[in-house]
Chain A
């Protein structure tokens, strides 16, 4: 079994009646068996064939949580096509901006077809520039399940393991133009290795609310359980964010054993669930709740445990993981066989010397949550600015090498070449190794991570720069960690000339509106400053990290008035 469709077809033949996924929506629980999943997927595969889509071509899926999304993903693979999920339009996103994002995706990815809903097809068609690669927009409602699937005859079954099986994008214009292309071999190597590390068997039940366009949702919360035949309970991210208790209800009802959550979700669940919503909830089946995809905080774990320990959550269930789409998913894993290590380091030494020295006294100690040991197929190095190996406990850029790396950024050989150094993938993350475990301390790249979502600051700066009164190029966006939320707040600082208080407020509102409606995040703080406030690099570019420091210093001074 060397490719994803081969494995799915084998489950269809061997355990057709077993539930592959329970789809939860609005209090309904729809079990989807392997038979149903493959018949529906085959329907999509045939419809794509009829539309003239050929193996190796990209199919973009613009669908919300539900059976059509799950089935069309595998349907594209059964044809040997390459599925790529584009996030659906949200309530706050402006349709014009959405169309521009889709056009950006189409331009680089060059899909042959798009699958969406009948009532969204007009929106999709209007976003596709004339003469583009898209030959068909298929309507999911019109695609019936295939009735006689015998397990053979699908072109996707003949793909070689080295060929690309899927694309995974992060969000925003920049992210959508940088699709991580993964081969069957890479995905299966990751899943086999990672499943072994976490001891996953068919007796496990995965419960997830994560979106499938995100690597954590797609791999840990979707492909791994389905391919390993561990029941998956999948809910909609939109429903979860409005009713976080439903995740716990699902764990309790289905005796869920495994979940993956970004750090903010620990704080979110701990603070936004009412006592009455916890009545009758039993979390004792949860053997690992794995924190992943944004900076991990001990305080988030503690808050989560305090709140849900009375419901049976065990302290040893809290786990951590370091992962990225470029390695399919996990690079390291902690907290499975032993509790997650906490390394108390000297704060000053970490910041000033970039060395994680164990703290002498508790007073100035920063508790670093370990991301665990590299999984057996992945190697981790810590490099200095000259790309030489650093000793233990020295902070540097994390580089990785494994048998599950990306094939490349799709149609972006330029970016692929830059991402590697002598075969090692340069993650842009900063961290150190201690006792064989990986600790993440920050980021070399300017990426902002909000609620587990990677956001490129240049996308936000471009939006803010369009506000009237702001000089293009005189604006900076960065993230500042919010301990209460357990994730980063987005901050924008923009220069405007000689504006009075009323004018500054108008500009601030304009920037807020543009970012809120033109990106996947919400702008939390916006500061309008006088000309020449922003610091530039020697090459004349706005220095994000330096301006972030200046903003924080100003902010601190304002909170502590002198005198």
Chain B
């Protein structure tokens, strides 16, 4: 299932991190363990999530054990969004 959060994150990673806007990322494609999202870019990803969704990801969570795919990252974000009134 691809929703708004997943596609926003996918677009950001393809454009800003991979420098290849045409690159489609599968929801379950490994991001960190594959090296696609490198260590220099992890903080960027956390900053982007914070400014776009208002959700904080702690630096200790920037690892493949916490999320390693668009799906995993989107779940993390969704779980921290305030409930819709």
Least CB distance, A214 to chain B, in whole angstroms: 15
Q: Does A256 contact B (CB under 8 A)?
A: no
Q: Does B62 contact A (CB under 8 A)?
A: yes
Q: Does B81 contact A (CB under 8 A)?
A: no
Give every chain B residue within 8 A of A196 (Cβ-Cβ). none
Q: Which residue of B lies closest to A516 (CB)?
A: B35
- The count of residues in chain B whose C-beta lies closer than 8 Å to any C-beta of chain A is 21
Least CB distance, B31 to chain A, in whole angstroms: 10
Q: Does B32 contact A (CB under 8 A)?
A: yes
Q: Digitize B34-48: 1 where CB-to-A-CB distance is under 8 Å, 0 elsewhere.
A: 111011101110010
Give every chain B residue within 8 A of A522 (Cβ-Cβ). 35, 38, 40
- Distance between Cα atoms of A522 and B18 in the complex (Å): 10
- Distance between Cα atoms of A268 and B41 in the complex (Å): 10
| Contact status A272-B60, CB under 8 Å | no
Give every chain A residue within 8 A of B35 (Cβ-Cβ). 92-93, 513, 516-517, 522
Q: Does B33 contact A (CB under 8 A)?
A: yes
- Distance between Cα atoms of A242 and B36 in the complex (Å): 16
Q: Which residue of B lies closest to A239 (CB)?
A: B59
Q: Does A91 contact B (CB under 8 A)?
A: yes
Give every chain A residue within 8 A of B33 (Cβ-Cβ). 91-92
Interfacial residues of chain A within 240-265, with CB under 8 A of chain B in the complex: 241-244, 264
- Distance between Cα atoms of A254 and B34 in the complex (Å): 37
Also in contact, A272 and B47, with CB within 8 A (given A26-B60, A92-B34, A242-B42): yes
| Contact status A92-B40, CB under 8 Å | no
Q: Digitize B58-77: 1 where CB-to-A-CB distance is under 8 Å, 0 elsewhere.
A: 01101110000000000000
- The count of residues in chain A whose C-beta lies closer than 8 Å to any C-beta of chain B is 25
Give every chain B residue within 8 A of A264 (Cβ-Cβ). 40
| Contact status A242-B34, CB under 8 Å | no
| Contact status A517-B34, CB under 8 Å | yes
| Contact status A91-B32, CB under 8 Å | yes
Give every chain B residue within 8 A of A272 (Cβ-Cβ). 43-44, 47
| Contact status B32-A92, CB under 8 Å | yes
Also in contact, A91 and B64, with CB within 8 A (given A516-B35, A522-B35, A524-B19): yes
Give every chain B residue within 8 A of A525 (Cβ-Cβ). 19
Give every chain A residue within 8 A of B59 (Cβ-Cβ). 239, 242-243
User: Which of B36, B42, B50 is most buried by chain A, counting CB atoms within 10 A of its CB?
Assistant: B36
- Distance between Cα atoms of A517 and B34 in the complex (Å): 6
- Distance between Cα atoms of A370 and B63 in the complex (Å): 38
Least CB distance, B25 to chain A, in whole angstroms: 11
User: Chain A interface (Cβ within 8 Å of chain B)?
Assistant: 26, 90-93, 238-239, 241-244, 264, 268, 272, 274, 451, 485, 505, 512-513, 516-517, 522, 524-525
Sample of 8 more A-B contacts, CB < 8 Å, known A517-B34, A517-B35:
A91-B33, A92-B35, A242-B43, A272-B47, A513-B35, A516-B35, A516-B38, A524-B19
What are 12 A-B pairs at a CB distance below 8 A? A90-B39, A91-B32, A92-B35, A239-B59, A264-B40, A274-B50, A451-B40, A485-B40, A512-B36, A513-B34, A513-B35, A525-B19
User: Chain B interface (Cβ within 8 Å of chain A)?
Assistant: 19, 22-23, 32-36, 38-40, 42-44, 47, 50, 59-60, 62-64
The 10 closest A-B pairs by CB, nearest first: A516-B35, A92-B35, A522-B38, A243-B59, A242-B59, A272-B43, A242-B62, A241-B39, A91-B64, A522-B35
